[in-house]
Amino acid sequence: MPYTYILECADGSYYTGSTWNLEKRLWEHQNRLGANYTAKRLPVKLVYAEECDRIDQAFYREKQIQGWSRKKKQALIVGAWDQLADLSACQNDSHFRFNQQE
């Protein structure tokens, strides 16, 4: 089964990826054979993984999560599903002012 996963790096940052073989890919990350990003931030810890039916779905989900804010990724990691929609809303000041005028 393909997977989408999130790693927490030693510096506290998150890395999101997708793979056919999660165990092998984690080993590669820990042994500097994974992404350059994680190779510079070892050790890494698996904090989230989800199975997908097809690899293209796993890749799509990877790209989706990569675009999320840190807070939204943290909500996913801890399973706070009810917070995901609220964390999707634009939080910048100009968007907030625009919506208040409607």
Dig out the tokens for 44 from the structure. 């890494």
List pLDDT tens digits, range 72-93: 999 999 988 888 777 776 666 6
Angle of helix 70-78 relative to helix 81-88, nearest 10 degrees, comes to: 170
**Residue 76: how many CA atoms within 13 Å on its side-chain side?**
24
Average pLDDT over residues 56-60: 96
**Domain 1-67 superfamily per CATH:** GIY-YIG endonuclease (3.40.1440.10)
Give the global pTM.
Answer: 0.84
In this predicted structure, the answer to whether residue 37 has a pLDDT above a threshold of 70 is: yes
Q: Where are the domains of the chain?
A: 1-67, 69-102
